[in-house]
C-alpha cells in the first residue's frame, strides 16, 4: 500500500505542468525577495521553451522592482527587469496595472522619471486604471530631484483620474515646494495634510518645521495688515480656517454637516431624552462573532451599555438597533430579559424596516452632540456626502472605540486634545499658518 502511494506521488510530480511549477517557484521567490533565484528560474524556463504567461511576468517584474532598494542587487534588478518587460511586450501581452507599477519603480530607480510617467499615460490610453502606487515612483522621483513642475503635472493627472494623495506624496510635494520657494504651493499642501491626514508623521513634521524656521517661510507676507473684520470673514468662508488662509475659498462644511443628515432622517431624536452617548448596537453585537451562524453577542453589547451608564453619572446611553434584529433578540430566551430591561429604561431605539442603522446613530450623535460608540470607520457613501475635513475632526472628538481583550471590555475614549495641525492668524499675506503640530 505504501509503495503504491509513493508511486502515485511520483507519477503526479512527473506529470505536473511545467508552467505551474515555474509559477509556484516564482511565487516562493516573491515571498523571500530572492532576485537571483527568480532570474535563474526565468532563464531556465526560456531555455526549456516553457510558455511564460502574464502572471509569470508580473511576479518577475515585482521581484525586480522590490530589489532596487538593495544596493547590491539594484543594477541587476534594473537591467533584467527591463529585459523581462521587453520580452513581455514583444510577446504581445498587454501591460496591467501591477506590471506597469513595477516597471515605473524600475524607471524611477534608473533615474528616468519621465518614462515612469509615460508608462502611466500609456496605461490610461489603453483603458487601464492607475492607482496611487502606480503614480508614486514618478511623483516621488520628480520631488526628490526638485523638478517641481513635473511633480505638479503628475498630481494634476492623478486628480483627473480621481486618485487621492496620501501623506508620503503630500509630504514630498510640500518639501519640493518649500525648497524651490513656491509658498502658495506650500500652504496648499499644508492644508491638504491638515484636512485629510490629521496627525502627521515625524518626518512630515520636520519638513513643516524647516519651512517655518527658514528664511522664506518666516518672511511670507511681512508688512501686510488685516483687520479683525477681514479675519472673521476668512474664517466664515473656511472650515475653522482649515481650508486655507485669508482669501482661500472654503466649503463651510461645519455649518452644513448636521443639516445634510437632517435631509435623510426624521426628527425623532428631539422627542427623546438628552443622551450623552449613542451606541451602534449591530457593530458591537457582531464584533468578532461568527457571521455565518448569525452570531450576535448580547453580553458584549450589555457590557458597553453598562460601562457608558457608569461613565456618564448613571445616565443610560441610547442603543440603535434595526427592528428585525431587535425582534430576533426578543424571540431568543437567553437575550429577552436584557433587551426588555433596556426597553423599560428607554435604552434602545429600533430603526424601521428598509432603513440604514448608520443614518440613525450618526444623526443622533450629531444632533445631541454626544459620544458615539462604534468601531465603524464610516467610509461608506453616506459619510462621503458630509465632506472629509470637518467629518474627520468630528470623528476624532466624538467616536469611542472598543475592544474585548480576553473577554473584558476596553474603551478608547476621544483624546482630550486634537492631534491635527493647528492654525492661527498672523499679519501676513496668507493670514493663517499652522501654529503647532503633534506628530504621531
Residue range 88-135, pLDDT digits in tens: 999 998 889 999 999 999 999 999 999 999 999 999 999 999 999 999
Do domains 14-194+202-213 and 257-386 share one topology? The answer is no
CATH fold of 257-386: Rossmann fold (3.40.50)
Query: Residue 220: its pLDDT value, please?
Result: 58
DSSP state of 352: P
Where are the chain's structural domains? 14-194+202-213, 257-386
Q: What is the mean pLDDT of the segment spanning 388-401?
A: 81
**Top CATH class, 14-194+202-213:** mainly alpha
pTM passes above 0.85: no
pLDDT score for 422: 67
Compute the Cα dihedral for 33, 38, 39, 42 and give only its sign: negative
Q: What percent of the chain has pLDDT over 90?
A: 54
Lowest mean pLDDT among 162-176, 197-211, 213-227: 213-227
pLDDT at 76: 96
Distance CA 256, CA 235 (A): 15
- 26, three cell numbers: 516564482
Asked if residue 319 has pLDDT above 70, the reply is yes
Find all residues with CB under 8 Å of 302, minimum gap 6, and list them: 338
Closest CA to 167 of 143, 142, 190: 190
Find all residues with CB under 8 Å of 312, minimum gap 6, and list them.
Answer: 276, 277
Cα separation values, 97 from 77, 100, 114, 119, 249, Å = 19, 5, 18, 10, 36
What's the average model confidence in pLDDT over 202-222?
79
pLDDT at position 228, please?
59
User: 3-state DSSP call for residue 418?
Assistant: coil
Amino acid at each position: 500500500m505504501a509503495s503504491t502511494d509513493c508511486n502515485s506521488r511520483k507519477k503526479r510530480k512527473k506529470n505536473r505542468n511545467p508552467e505551474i511549477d515555474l509559477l509556484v517557484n516564482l511565487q516562493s521567490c516573491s515571498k523571500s525577495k530572492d532576485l537571483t533565484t527568480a532570474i535563474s528560474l526565468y532563464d531556465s524556463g526560456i531555455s526549456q521553451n516553457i510558455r511564460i504567461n502574464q502572471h509569470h511576468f508580473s511576479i518577475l517584474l515585482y521581484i525586480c522592482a522590490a530589489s532596487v532598494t538593495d544596493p547590491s542587487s539594484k543594477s541587476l534588478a534594473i537591467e533584467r527587469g527591463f529585459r523581462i518587460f521587453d520580452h513581455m511586450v514583444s510577446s504581445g501581452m498587454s501591460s496591467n496595472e501591477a506590471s506597469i507599477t513595477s516597471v515605473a519603480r524600475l524607471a524611477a530607480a534608473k533615474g528616468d522619471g519621465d518614462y515612469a510617467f509615460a508608462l502611466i499615460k500609456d496605461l490610461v490610453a489603453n483603458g487601464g486604471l492607475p492607482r496611487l502606487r502606480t503614480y508614486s515612483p514618478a511623483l516621488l522621483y520628480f520631488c526628490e530631484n526638485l523638478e517641481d513642475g513635473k511633480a505638479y503635472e503628475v498630481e494634476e493627472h492623478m486628480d483627473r483620474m480621481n486618485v487621492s494623495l496620501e501623506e508620503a506624496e503630500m509630504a514630498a510635494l510640500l518639501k519640493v515646494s518649500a525648497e524651490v520657494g513656491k509658498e502658495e504651493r506650500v500652504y496648499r499642501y499644508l492644508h491638504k495634510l491638515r484636512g485629510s491626514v490629521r496627525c502627521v508623521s515625524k518626518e512630515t513634521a520636520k519638513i513643516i518645521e524647516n519651512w517655518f524656521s527658514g528664511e522664506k517661510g518666516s518672511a511670507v507676507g511681512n508688512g501686510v495688515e488685516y483687520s479683525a473684520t477681514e479675519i472673521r470673514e476668512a474664517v466664515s468662508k473656511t472650515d475653522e480656517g482649515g481650508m486655507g488662509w485669508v482669501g482661500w475659498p472654503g466649503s463651510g462644511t461645519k455649518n452644513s454637516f448636521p443639516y445634510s443628515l437632517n435631509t435623510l432622517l426624521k426628527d425623532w431624536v428631539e422627542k427623546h431624552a438628552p443622551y450623552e452617548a449613542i451606541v451602534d448596537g449591530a457593530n458591537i453585537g457582531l464584533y468578532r462573532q461568527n457571521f455565518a451562524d448569525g452570531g450576535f453577542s448580547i453580553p458584549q453589547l450589555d457590557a458597553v451599555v453598562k460601562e457608558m451608564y457608569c461613565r456618564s453619572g448613571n445616565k443610560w446611553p441610547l442603543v440603535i438597533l434595526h427592528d428585525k434584529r431587535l425582534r430576533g433578540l426578543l424571540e431568543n430566551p437567553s437575550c429577552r430579559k436584557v433587551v426588555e430591561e433596556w426597553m423599560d429604561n428607554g435604552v434602545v431605539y429600533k430603526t424601521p424596516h428598509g432603513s440604514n442603522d448608520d443614518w440613525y446613530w450618526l444623526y443622533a450623535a450629531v444632533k445631541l452632540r454626544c459620544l458615539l460608540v462604534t468601531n465603524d470607520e464610516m467610509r461608506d457613501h453616506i459619510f462621503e456626502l458630509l465632506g472629509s475635513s470637518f467629518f474627520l475632526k468630528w470623528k476624532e472628538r466624538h467616536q469611542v472605540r472598543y475592544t474585548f481583550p480576553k473577554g473584558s471590555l476596553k474603551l478608547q475614549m476621544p483624546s482630550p486634545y486634537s492631534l491635527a495641525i493647528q492654525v492661527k492668524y498672523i499679519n501676513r499675506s496668507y493670514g493663517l499658518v499652522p501654529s503647532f503640530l503633534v506628530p504621531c
